[in-house]
Amino acid sequence: MVDALRYAVNWLPPGKKAAVCLSIDDVHPGRSSDHYEAGGDLGKGVLGHVEWLLDRHPQLHATLFVTADWREIHPRPTRKMLAAIPGLRDHFYLAKIRPRGAMRLDRHREFVHYITSLPRTEIALHGLYHCHRGLKIPMEFQEQNCEEFTALLEEAIAIFGRAGIDYVPGICPPGWNSPPALLDAMVNVGLRFIGSARDLATPVSGHARTDMHGMNGVSLIYPQWIHDRRLLHVTSNFSCTNTIDRAFEIIEAGGLLSIKAHAVKKVFDYVADDGLDVGYRNFLDMLLMVLEEKYGDALFFTSMGEIVRRAFEDRTGPPEDV
Ligand SMILES: [Zn+2]
């Protein structure tokens, strides 16, 4: 269970009305010559869209949620017979996965150099392997205990260290799932924020709580302390399936417009709605131009890492009047 909105979070600088951030999940060194591209083609692939947006919008920041050693190939079971046997299926990978180490970041120096050289771009964690036994293949954090989660996170952080990646201390859990033992493990390894909830549908208001993917019941539009105020939660509340009116509503309510995209658009027969392709890129370009024109300096262009840094610098605010 998550805490209620118990404490004010000091995340918005004085003089700013609302904020905007952009994050991209599933970034890893996969190339178009592999099963699918997820950043490995550098500027010629999906990250070229990010670079293009950063170039056209000098205030924009990006957070890349990067997987330390991506092993998933298929997001859904292909071993159908096995997948049909309750109990037994939970003990097996229900689709082929990559060997350990093939996509490990410290073995892809050019990729690491590229992502760490992008302007106004920070890197955070998106799991160790991005796969799990059983039906929900991409959902890496499920029934494991705190010790096991801690070991997974420590290994991911060690890979980031060997790759020379200076990460911001947060995670977007693959498949959005964040059991309480994962939150304990995050604290154990020094992480400070999580983006577990994605909600693109709940009507916008200051009191709106998430009710879609991942963590339910947290604020739809404001960063919020959770887990006895040891972690900050940041909801993803906007993507290319939304209209621009939702962005206006979030900003008018003084919230954080938290835009989510995925690095991989199409995996075999699975298509991610919010995969960052040319269409989504152009939609974001238009959205950002409209926001810049309409709100000017009143809008705080920021990143999850920056919000968390500001919030943790001032954790002594009074209990929030909910
Ligand atoms: Zn993912």
252 CA distance to ligand 1 middle (Å): 30
Residue 251 near residue 17, CB atoms below 8 Å: yes
CB under 5 Å of ion ligand 1: residues: 25-26, 174
Report residue 268's pLDDT band, with 50, 70 and 90 as the boundaries: confident
246 CA distance to ligand 1 middle (Å): 24
pLDDT of residue 316: 63
Domains by residue range for the chain, with CATH: 18-313 (3.20.20.370)
> What per-residue string of b and e applies to 122-132 under the rule 16 or more CB within 10 Å gives b?
bbbbbbbbbbb
130 CA distance to ligand 1 middle (Å): 7
pLDDT of residue 118: 98
pLDDT tens figures, 207-260: 999 999 999 999 999 999 999 999 999 999 999 999 999 999 999 999 999 999
What are the CA-CA distances from residue 250 to residues 12, 187, 218, 236, 237 (Å)? 14, 30, 15, 12, 9
94 CA distance to ligand 1 middle (Å): 17
pLDDT of residue 317: 54
Task: Identify how many contiguous H helices and E strands the chain contains and give both numbers.
Answer: 8, 11
Residue 257 near residue 248, CB atoms below 8 Å: no
Instruction: Identify the CA nearest to 184 among candidates 215, 222, 228.
Output: 228
Residue 307 near residue 233, CB atoms below 8 Å: no
Dihedral (CA of 257, 231, 302, 109) sign? negative
291 CA distance to ligand 1 middle (Å): 28
Helix axes 146-163, 180-188, angle to 10 degrees: 50
303 CA distance to ligand 1 middle (Å): 19
Give the separation between CA 97 and CA 71, rounded to whole angstroms: 5
pLDDT of residue 8: 67
293 CA distance to ligand 1 middle (Å): 33
Average pLDDT over residues 119-141: 97
pLDDT at 2 over 80: no
174 CA distance to ligand 1 middle (Å): 4
pLDDT tens figures, 47-82: 999 999 999 999 999 999 999 999 999 999 999 999
pLDDT tens figures, 146-203: 999 999 999 999 999 999 999 999 999 999 999 999 999 999 999 999 999 999 999 9
pLDDT tens figures, 276-311: 999 999 999 999 999 999 999 999 999 999 999 999
pLDDT at 4 over 50: no
262 CA distance to ligand 1 middle (Å): 8
139 CA distance to ligand 1 middle (Å): 8
pLDDT of residue 178: 96
